[in-house]
Amino acid sequence: MMRTRPLKVALLGCGVVGSEVARIMTTHADDLAARIGAPVELAGVAVRRPSKLREGIPQDLVTTDATALVKRGDIDVVVEVIGGIEPARTLITTAFEHGASVVSANKALLAQDGAALHAAAGQHGKDLYYEAAVAGAIPLIRPLRESLAGDKVNRVLGIVNGTTNFILDKMDSTGAGYQEALDEATALGYAEADPTADVEGFDAAAKAAILAGIAFHTRVRLDDVYREGMTEVTAADFASARNMGCTIKLLAICERAEDGQSVTARVHPAMIPLSHPLASVRGAYNAVFVESDASGQLMFYGPGAGGAPTASAVLGDLVAVCRNRLSGTTGPGESAYTALPVSGMGEVVTRYHISLDVADKPGVLAQVATVFAEHGVSIDTVRQQGKDGEASLVVVTHRASDAALGGTVEALRKLDTVRGVASIMRVEGE
């Protein structure tokens, strides 16, 4: 039997995502009520500019006083889609204190203060759900947190930023340079006027922190994630990748150490074999590849951003939280029982592609090979091309630690026959 008294929802933010949340709540009201077991009512919308017209939202619901809205006491669920650290953090904790559960899409806040927010939710017996914080509409957090709760996840490898994937895909498919591809992404609305958060990997790093924490049942903060942007990727790098049967993606990689005693989380450009499922992810789409003991390999794919896709994830959480509210229960909270340390980038082991500018004369290859051997880095393949006293040397290693590779490169730079290191790129997905 359906309850007639509606569950009241406060919406913080009414931009691209928030306006879609409000629209779906209105147009799908009957379906949502049937799925939840009670009607849901939009009880207030907090915005910064109240004079801006918002189609379908009664003006009497609009307020600039977000604090007063979350303090009302009759609000069942607060949906936070304003982003940033403050005032979002204070508003969420205030919502818990005044009896509301929270649905959030705030990746930056969750990556920085997820543990404190979970603690506040637990203290007040409320839910904190955030499916929309990672990979838009793609169901990912709930499968990791619930569907794979009985499994042991060893690795999460993914494309979690649509802007960067669009740019790299354009560079790969058309031969465009970085700036040309970025300009097209901006013109099409895929890139912000200031794309720094995307192209320098900050957005992906926040998502990696969230994914690593859930996958490995340990606390991983944004500061724990190694981050490297993609602004230095060139057309020459793509040419080298094609010679290896690879393409280049900006990847978020979270993995458990082979001995199981630590985890790492990192974001950086990497070559990935064309045979890997992630290599075929085109345009602004996202995809995440999960490797676990019992389930094996799973891939989650779909639109990773945009108003409607992200709102879909928000509404999925809203339905779950409202159902919990009606039954007097809460969903899963933070799981950090393993308390595994997060290792630095120096301990990460992977393959490397190194391109060197060298003198075109006998003995250069032997000198370079000696340096690799002295630092314990095994060479898989090497290719040399030379003309008019100048040459390029491309070395692909077997698996080696980042620290060992760093020492190797430092020693290579000291050789008088090495004119410069043109590029270094990791090779993943093998």
Q: Within a 13 Å sphere around the CA of 7, how many CA atoms are in the beta-carbon half? A: 30
Q: How far apart are CA 246 and CA 173, in angstroms?
A: 13
List, in order, residues 6 or more apart from 110 with CB less than 8 Å away: 104, 117, 130, 133, 206, 210
Question: Quick one: which H or E segment has residue 298?
Answer: strand 296-303
Q: How far apart are the first and last CA of the chain?
A: 53
Is residue 207 among the annotated active site residues? Answer: yes
DSSP code, position 48: S
Q: How many residues does the chain have?
A: 430
Catalytic residue among 107, 126, 170, 207: 207
Q: Which distant-in-sequence residues (6+ apart) come within 8 Å of 212 by Cβ?
A: 156, 218, 220, 224, 225, 254, 263, 265, 342
Closest CA to 347 of 235, 226, 227: 226
- Cβ distance 70 to 98 under 8 Å? yes
Residue-wise DSSP of 333-351: ----TT---B--GGG-EEE
* Alpha helices in 341-401, H assignment, sequence order: 364-374
Nearest to 256 by CA among 149, 348, 136: 348
State the catalytic residues: 207
